[in-house]
Structure 1
Amino acid sequence: MRPATRPAPLDDIDLSDMGFWSRPSGERHEAFARLRARPAPVFFTEPDLGPIPTGPGFYALVRHADVVEASRTPEVFASEPSAISIPDLPEGFNEFFGSMINLDDPRHARLRRIVSRGFTPRMLARLEDGVQRQAERIVADLERTGPCDFVAAAAARLPLVVICEMMGIPESHHRMVFENSNIILAGHDRDYLGDDIDTAVGRVLRAGAELAGLLADLAAERRAHPTDDLTSALVNANIDGESLTDAELGSFFILLAVAGNETTRNAISHGLKLLTLHPEQRATWWSDFEGYAATAVEEIIRHASPVVWMRRTVTRDHEMNGHRYRAGDKTVLYYASANRDETVFCDPHRFDVTRSPNPHVGFGGPGPHFCLGAHLARREITVMFRELHRRLPDIHSTGRPQRLFSNFVNGIKSMPCSF
């Protein structure tokens, strides 16, 4: 009789330690595989973050089944008080970052209902035209300039301009939106936040205040002089007697600018790196671009997992997949781990542009918090690579990407390319 296999030890894994997140991606994925092999979710203590109170710790949900079930059960795994921070955020943060991503129903449903009405078929059609126009312009500029930093010259430009045009943000403010969104999602990266926690907190709060202030000024102008942009649609919306407050509008714009800009740009950046590392997959996709576009884009999102995790707080005692959770427990849904779950994805570490089915959770798990901008993100990624395929089919990265030092966003700050 064969002895039972014992789970591999976890002494070298601490998801709260930023040192873990500086390790090579292959080592991190191997660590998550060991966590998935455990019979129960592993509990981690929270680090000391100075001015931010240290919490009791959290359970790491690393299996696809756990992430999906928790996402489908928001009445138990709640987004309040915060989905985007493992420590409970200080009160000042909620003024700018208390968007619907950090809310539960009925408040979440109310905001999403109002915001969704701004994404009418006419608005989406305009967006798609804008995506195509911007992608053509960006790739034409690449042709003229030659080898460059792909992130700055291409991946970062497309979602930034699309979102700003969608909201009606003047071009003179695009740089400010870009820089402040970088700061808000900087994680622990000193290039954006400085060397100490107090400086970092101050910079994040100032970035939120600047973005909210920009929208407050624009909202006042659009109430007096409406146009056909999304800001006008939102400030003048009245859905069953409900409309957005200025604070809600500001928080939504911060969510849109940050989530819609940073995550899409990182998916595009990772996409070029993956196609460079796997030329056989590029050859497959390029042999029939339209035929493989849908599966290739989903595979880029699965493989990159631009958003690594979201937090949930347990509202009542609850048993899930054999583990008993208590009211008040924090859980962290690790999408990056769920997207490599070997019980769901065959050969999960392989990049395969033909992979189907592909039930990844790169846009969040199923449920009320599934990404509102998933359609737009897919469109942007597809159009960008279509233009690259058409005009610069041999474009490739030429050096090691400079990665964002973050445990929340799988970001690439810069990456050289040539063609």
Structure 2
Amino acid sequence: MLNAADVDLSDWEFWRRPLDHRHEAFKALRWEPELVHFDEPDIAIVPQGPGFYAVTRHADIVEVSRRPQDFCSGRGAISIVDLPGDMHEYFGSMISMDDPRHAKIRRIVSQAFTPRMIRRLEDKVDQVASEIVEDVAAAGGGDFVLDVAARLPLKIICDMMGIGEESYRTVFDATNVILGGNDPEFLPANDGEQIALALLTAGQTLKELVEDLGRRRRAEPSDDLTSALVNANVDGESLTDQELGSFFILLVVAGNETTRNAIAHGLDLLTRHPEQRALLAEDFEAHAPAAVEEIVRYVSPVIWMRRTATRDTVLNDHEIKEGDKLLLYYWSANRDELVFKDSGRFDITRSPNPHLGFGGPGPHFCLGAHLARREITVMFRQLLSGLPSIQASGAPDRLESSFLNGIKRLPYTV
């Protein structure tokens, strides 16, 4: 049994250790009576900050999420360190904003997702998933991430925005860099300045792509989401080019990477748990909703989000000072023994399942949760009905990251 004193969440070596070790470490942190404080990672481009508290219990994360007036997102939601300028907004968009700006962007974006557009999206998911299964059947095997898991959400998001197929690879590569964590395959190792340059270049690539499209859609509107966003007007307010670019970065990063990782983890889990796979295949429509929720709970594609205390306050008897940073570890909360019976077991019949895989309650609950659930459901419906023998044929090649529980490659056979 690990002790909390033996855990260092800021040490990259911790995130290279086996999953079982990490789960034991978070279990130790959950049972500590007080929140545990950690040093911030030492990054060359910014001064080292005062550190952060690891919020690991389900109840504590729910409480923080419900109190945005006490725990804000606007000082950085996806970075432990305080990034220079508006970089946190540049990469985080709405998830790195507080009201009233957050409410403004959310209103405009919500208006753009009309019932007609949502229906068209749902039909598109079915069509694309069917095409993917046909291609996979012909290939007989390969890399599941590239052939299936990444392909579906990437095409849905690009088609939704009106981005042509010639730009798919650009979007794919840029999102890999932005969410590269500490993985040397995507970011320069141990070189803060080069890492910052790579991140900014990837973000600028995506921003320029959608801003150029936005200018064209203002002049000649189409029926895509970009046209709806740039021409939307809510109470006299519309999106600026900067806001459109930042929203697109959020959309492709959150909507592409997290869904693709849930799908990739899903095949790995169903291969390693054949009894659960058999249960799902036996009556897919009956078990699919709970199965999707269990995949998201069990793997928690997004490991954490940050909040910052806006004033001195108390969090479930723990004193918090203004300016304290809190990392909400959804990955830990989704294994909380006080909430989930036998939390380390993968069980597609689990009910209730109040996981935090799409974030906690409150204004920052994932705007794309419905679409993500739809994509995961449809993809596995098509796979299990059209390719009943598909399975992972080797161990996943995992992303080295403290932020994203990612799979870079997963071999499979049909």
Aligned residue identity for 1:375: H
Q: Select 2:255's aligned residue among 240, 254, 260.
A: 260
Per-residue displacement from partner, 1:227-277 (whole Å, max 9, x unpaired)? 000000000001111100000000000000100000000000000000011
Q: Select 2:113's aligned residue among 105, 115, 119.
A: 119
Q: Which position in structure 2 is the counterpart of 1:411?
A: 406
How many equivalent residue pairs? Answer: 413
Aligned residue identity for 2:240: T
Any conservation in 2 of the 1:403–1:414 contact (CA below 8 Å)? yes
TM-score norm. by structure 1 comes to 0.97
Q: Which position in structure 2 is the counterpart of 1:251?
A: 246
Any conservation in 2 of the 1:96–1:209 contact (CA below 8 Å)? no
Per-residue displacement from partner, 1:149-174 (whole Å, max 9, x unpaired)? 00000000000000000000011111
| Distance across 2 between alignment mates of 1:415 and 1:243 | 42
SS in 1 for 2:186: helix
SS in 2 for 1:192: coil
Q: Which position in structure 2 is the counterpart of 1:135?
A: 129
| Distance across 2 between alignment mates of 1:289 and 1:92 | 45
- What CA RMSD, in Å, does the superposition of the two structures yield over aligned residues? 1.1
Q: Which position in structure 2 is the counterpart of 1:289?
A: 284
Aligned residue identity for 2:402: N
Aligned residue identity for 2:216: E
Task: Return the offset for 1:8.
Answer: 5.9
SS in 2 for 1:333: strand
SS in 2 for 1:243: coil
Unaligned runs of 5+ in 2: none
2:18 maps to 1:18: no
| Distance across 2 between alignment mates of 1:182 and 1:9 | 34
Any conservation in 2 of the 1:100–1:112 contact (CA below 8 Å)? yes
Aligned residue identity for 1:220: R
Aligned residue identity for 1:414: R
| Distance across 1 between alignment mates of 2:84 and 2:406 | 25
2:77 maps to 1:72: no
Q: Which position in structure 2 is the counterpart of 1:3?
A: none
Q: Which position in structure 2 is the counterpart of 1:300?
A: 295
| Distance across 1 between alignment mates of 2:92 and 2:347 | 37
Per-residue displacement from partner, 1:275-332 (whole Å, max 9, x unpaired)? 0110000011111000000000000000010000000000011111110101110000
Give the direction of change, closer, same or farther, for the CA distance of 1:8–1:409 in structure 2 (3 Å limit). Answer: closer
Q: Which position in structure 1 is the counterpart of 2:371?
A: 376
Residues 13-412 of structure 1 aligned to structure 2 (within 5 Å): 13-91=7-85, 93-94=87-88, 96-97=90-91, 99-195=93-189, 196-412=191-407
Aligned residue identity for 1:282: R
| Distance across 2 between alignment mates of 1:409 and 1:166 | 24
Task: Return the offset for 1:22.
Answer: 0.5
Unaligned runs of 5+ in 1: 1-6
| Distance across 1 between alignment mates of 2:138 and 2:194 | 40
Any conservation in 1 of the 2:298–2:346 contact (CA below 8 Å)? yes
| Distance across 2 between alignment mates of 1:219 and 1:108 | 21
Per-residue displacement from partner, 1:367-405 (whole Å, max 9, x unpaired)? 000000000000000000000011111211111111100
SS in 1 for 2:74: coil
Any conservation in 2 of the 1:77–1:313 contact (CA below 8 Å)? yes
Aligned residue identity for 2:93: S
Task: Return the offset for 1:92.
Answer: 6.1
TM-score norm. by structure 2 comes to 0.98
Q: What is the percent sequence identity of the aligned residues?
A: 62
| Distance across 1 between alignment mates of 2:56 and 2:267 | 27
